[in-house]
Structure 1
Amino acid sequence: MISFEVNRRADGAIEAFTMSGHADSGPYGYDIVCAGASAVSFGAVNAIAELAGIYLETDMQDEGGYLHCRVPEISDHDTEEKVQWLLEGMIVSMKSIEANYRQFLRMESN
C-alpha cells in the first residue's frame, strides 16, 4: 500500500509531504495506482520548479517506493502562494486516486 502523508504548518500551509510504499495493484509496469500517484507527485514537484522557480528539497530511494519533499523558505509572498496552490492541486488529485483505490493508497495529514 502507498502511504501519502502531508505535513502542514500551524497556518495550514503545506511544509512537506512523504509518499512511501508500493500499491501492488497490478504487475510491475501495469500498476495504475503506482503510476498515477507517481505522476501526480512528480508532476507537482516539476511544476513547482518550472512555474514558480522553486526547487523542493527532495529525498528519494534508488529502488523507488519513497519520496519525501520539503518546501524551502520562500520570502516572496506571490511565489509562496503559487507553490501552495500547486501542492493543494496535488492533494486534490491524490484524494481522487484514494477515493477510487482506497485499498492501495491511504492519505494522512498532520
Structure 2
Amino acid sequence: MMITITFDRNNDGTIHSFTMSGHAESGPYGHDLVCAGASAVSFGTVNAIAELCQTELHVEMKDDGGFLRCRVPEHLNDGIYENVQLLLKGMLVSMKTMEEQYRQFIQIKS
C-alpha cells in the first residue's frame, strides 16, 4: 500500500484542492510514522488555514482515515487567498520532503 497525495491546480497554477488516499503501512497500526507524519502535516495545514486565515476548507473524509479531500472555497478576498496558498505550498514542501525519505510509502502528484 501507499499514500498518494494529489494537489489539483487552477489554470494560474494556484492550488484549489488536495486529495490524500491510501495507507502507508510502513509499520504496525499506531506505529506507522509515514501515515502519522502525512496526517499531522495535512490536518495541521487545514487547522492553520482555519485559524490564521479564518477560512474553512471544504473537507471530505471517508474510508476510516484512508481518504481526505480538501477544497479551497471560492470567492475569497485576495489577501486571504494568498495566505491560504502560502500554507498549502508549505504543506506541499513538507510532503515532498517526506516523499524523498519514504518514496516506497508516499507519492506526491502536483
CA–CA distance in 1 between the matches of 2:56 and 2:62?
Answer: 18
Hey, what does 2:94 align to over in structure 1? 93
CA–CA distance in 2 between the matches of 1:52 and 1:62?
Answer: 28
CA–CA distance in 2 between the matches of 1:86 and 1:74?
Answer: 18
Does 2:49 correspond to 1:51? no
Hey, what does 2:75 align to over in structure 1? 74
Q: Per-residue CA shift, 1:72-108, capped at 9, x if unaligned?
A: 0133111000000000000000000000000000011
Q: Which runs of 4+ in 1 moved over 3 A?
A: none
Q: Could you list the runs of 5+ residues in structure 1 that have no partner in the other structure?
A: none
TM-score by length of 2: 0.97
Hey, what does 2:9 align to over in structure 1? 8
CA–CA distance in 2 between the matches of 1:97 and 1:90?
Answer: 11
RMSD between superposed Cα atoms in Å: 0.8
> Quick one: which amino acid aligns to residue 59 of structure 1?
E
Among all aligned residue pairs of Structure 1 and Structure 2, give the percentage whose two residues are the same amino acid.
60
CA–CA distance in 2 between the matches of 1:102 and 1:95?
Answer: 9
Does 2:39 correspond to 1:38? yes
Q: Could you list the runs of 5+ residues in structure 2 that have no partner in the other structure?
A: none
How many pairs were matched up?
109
1:19-30 alignment runs, 5 A limit: 19-30=20-31
CA–CA distance in 1 between the matches of 2:97 and 2:70?
Answer: 21
> Quick one: which amino acid aligns to residue 17 of structure 1?
F
